[in-house]
Amino acid sequence: MKQRIIFTFCAVAAFALLTACGDTATKTNMTNNTATAANNANMAKPMESPAMPMNSDNPMVGGAPMMKDKDIIDNAVNSKDHTTLVAAVKAAGLVETLKGAGPFTVFAPTNAAFEKLPDGTVDTLLKPENKDKLKGILTYHVVPGKLDAAAVAKAIKDGNGKATVKTVQGEELTATMEGDSVIITDAKGGKSKVTIADVMQSNGVIHVVDTVLMPK
């Protein structure tokens, strides 16, 4: 039995995100998420023993401290492990979106994660003519609201070992446990492990993952 997580955030922040994206499909998905989020407002309450260990203030990612008073983009640009992701976000025109009020949960693939893709995939996606496809892949890594380690653990437990989240792109991701690790499974059955959890941002939270998640 799957447990669906949808998080609440203010209408003003949602409007700012939709305006920045300028994408009709994304606007529809974000509006739907906002309309139904109130039913699950208590999902993010902390557990005594979260499945993903929480980080202390200003954890290190890619050799740089992640400052919780900075936004997702301002932190990501300092991580040497996320240069490909930052380049992709810029090419997709999502910088202003991810600098918005949010809050957002971002599953952030490392450079090594992008290197797992078939040769030439990243270069192809970065071409201007593939901007929409790239935007779809990147927004598939973003969930509206602030989904921290405690919320993930609670949802997996409540869902008898499985929890689903709806992404900004519109499709779902599935969270499960394998030993002590949280695994995120995409629409094609690909699996990505959360390697660093709860990297807090001023406009949400980042969870570093080791594989790029792909929509259908």
Reported as a single tens digit per residue, the pLDDT across 101-146 is 889 999 999 999 999 999 999 999 999 999 999 999 999 999 999 9
pLDDT score recorded for residue 57: 64
Gap between the terminal Cα atoms of the chain: 22
Average pLDDT along the chain: 79
Q: What is the rounded average pLDDT of the residues 28-46?
A: 37
pLDDT score recorded for residue 128: 96
pLDDT score recorded for residue 63: 84
User: Do 53 and 184 touch, CB atoms closer than 8 A?
Assistant: no
Q: What is the rounded average pLDDT of the residues 71-77?
A: 94
Total-model pTM:
0.74
In whole angstroms, give the CA distance from residue 164 to residue 95. Answer: 26
The pLDDT of residue 205 is above 90:
yes
Q: Which helix (H) or strand (E) holds 105?
A: strand 104-109
Position 145 in a domain: yes
The pLDDT of residue 21 is above 70:
no
> Which residue is associated with the tokens 């490909």?
84
Which domain does 128 fall in, by range?
A: 3-209
Number of domain units in the chain: 1
CATH (domain of 21): 2.30.180.10
In whole angstroms, give the CA distance from residue 155 to residue 111. Answer: 29
Position 215 in a domain: no
